[in-house]
Structure 1
């Protein structure tokens, strides 16, 4: 009876232990004294390429302070990485791009997961429940076993014994040349730094070279045809070498003469351009007046578009003509005095004038000179005696003289008259002699 009670009690204890541990075994039992994650913890998934010997219930720390624990570790769907499920206190405040690392408390201590802010480019968003820290933001520390294994490989057949002659030869080669080697290293550093600054340009140049190579490869047939025709072209150029040499010689002479002409005429050309400046400025200020006037010249005295108002084969024309010769002569400068020189705004103050110019240096007309008639005046012919011409002055008999019948006056011959006097009076010049 006593033995049956003992067996029953043992079976109950085993059942309770298995039930409490569930399928996770002993790893499902929280460690005493672990961090408190609260009633509403934050669950995260962290991807590692190697979890070393990290186990569930290991600590999760931020800045060395425990804030959570590892819940489970399982193989990722890709079969090469591990997914670590961790639970944290909801008060943990980290950037959404936080980083994770598997570290060790000391040389032979336990492993834990360290969470920290990224060293640069912090995301303004915050880490939330259900987020995943991807593989590119995780790492693991180097284990002491790896360090000791590498050191053992180096010491046992790693070629350490061959370092002595290498170091000796380097010492011999650098003896007395330290400054030159230092300068060489500094120049190499400058060169590498310059290349690093121009790496974008170098990349673009390589991309352009790749594009050029692709296009050249597409035109292989055309390039081959050109290369086949190059010998013929070279032969033609060789036959025409004397003519080409002569052409280049003449071109050199032309360049020399042209340079000399430009050097000699430079000042005159500048003066001409400066003198043209007022004229060109006035032309520019005239606006559309000059083009409109030029359009009127071919159809003078009719304006452009006269065909629109022509009726049949005729058109009415109304002209206002000023036949006052005195006004015309005044407009030409007759009786206006000597010309007055106005110096130009640009260029030399006094232009070079031909001395043979009749209006230069006082050679022009003088004030008080007799006026020279511009029209030939016919000779003055006395009127016939006794001839009466109506409207012609000097042919009518004098009033109160009985000789009116024979056309003479008493005791005096008639004064000679200009036959164009009346006509000249009509033009405003005046009649008489």
Structure 2
């Protein structure tokens, strides 16, 4: 039975997704991209809003009376509809794999940032960030027993409250340092490779397309979806720009990967512990979603009978330990965020929505709409390819120097 939510609630959910903990990487992105980074934050918001709309448009077809009817329910349904003539299930498999990759990478990022936050909160304790990540992981072990969204929804409410407290504290401190601000800290020249990594960071901070079909289907008035998407991306863009600019103007060249590391010690510990709470409260949602997708794919066509509960427990436990293993292997927050944004973020946000829209709606699109979709696809592909290469190179250099 679907849970219907008003448009305002849906908007709040999207705003929370596009303005989550990964906004803390935006000031660091500005460090490497200068004024072009500000332009990218705005441009990415516009593109994400557009691709969100065309993705939802792919859920609908006109009936004999010319009325739009929702004939598809999920991102996978859209993909399967595009591939049904040649490979009926290939599109859904590709989307499912991409979704799981993005969700798992998000979980890994939460563990990485948790280790970073604990390390900087207790600098006198002789433990590495990896050890702190393991400690954070232990607190997440109960996630293997989560079977419904009821618990996650309560955790998400607490997560949103903590998020606004953190951002308020950081911006308030930055405003107290306004006398030190200098616009000369922004550069017109950029380091091309670092700039491309920044693109991945910015894209990943906006990714929300995988949630949109479910959200639109659960809205009380789906006709308000486009309006909701416009306003949430507008406010998210304004907020992210303001936050990134104030933080970068405050710390300039000293801006760190996780901007809260720049705060003075009397605030840093408090904010970092709040951020830790937010990261741990945020982890269950992408973890649960990833486990559900993998479970649905494996269970399809198979009958586990009485072993199904045990299988689900083993699956969730395996995914949980996978995120820990990956967090141990790649403990670099900004580079991992850029890599994820370049691969799954660009694919789910730019490439697939534009490709699916062209495939399903080609005959009904006007020339301008076709050009817009093709432009988004090409731009998304180039950004994804370049960001992928530079993020991997950055990770290799980071490992080589460690």
| Pairwise TM-score range, normalised by the shorter structure | under 0.3
More strand by share: 1
More helix by share: 2
Higher relative contact order (CA 8 A, sep 6+): 2
Give the greater-gyration-radius structure (CA).
1
Length-normalised TM-score, structure 2: 0.17
Length-normalised TM-score, structure 1: 0.16
